[in-house]
Amino acid sequence: MKAAALKNFSLEDSQNFAVRAANNFLERAKETGQDACYQLSRQVRRHPWKAAMIALGIGLVLGVRAKSILT
């Protein structure tokens, strides 16, 4: 059954399928990114001091790490 279906599957059909699959993937990735940004924004609004301390800690770690690499 599959072999017969594959014989009727043209190059144009496979290209259209690939384009649709890529568009679906990009749309899902976009929605996931937007959801992550919304959740991050919501978390920062609910806990601003915690977000500031986390950002400060990450900045210090990266600064110390960059300094040790450069020297």
The model's pTM = 0.57
Residue 56 lies in a domain: yes
For the chain, the farthest-separated pair of C-alpha atoms sits apart, in whole angstroms, at 66
- The arithmetic mean of pLDDT across residues 5-13, rounded, is 69
pLDDT-based confidence at 6, cuts 50/70/90? low
Flag whether 4 is in a domain: no
* End-to-end CA gap in the chain: 66
Residue 52 in any domain: the answer is yes
Q: For residue range 19-68, list pLDDT tens digits in order.
A: 999 999 999 999 999 999 999 999 999 999 999 999 999 999 999 888 88
What domain range is 50 assigned to?
A: 11-70
Count of other CB atoms within 10 angstroms of residue 9: 10
Question: What pLDDT shows up at residue 4?
Answer: 57
Domain presence at residue 3: no
Q: What is the structure's pLDDT at 27?
A: 97
Give me the number of domains the chain comprises. 1
Judge whether 37 lies within some domain: yes
- For residue 24, the surrounding DSSP H or E stretch is helix 11-46
Question: Who's near 43: CB < 8 A, 6+ residues apart?
Answer: 51
30 occurs within a structural domain: yes
Task: Measure Cα distances from 6 to 3, 11, 22 in Å.
Answer: 5, 11, 21
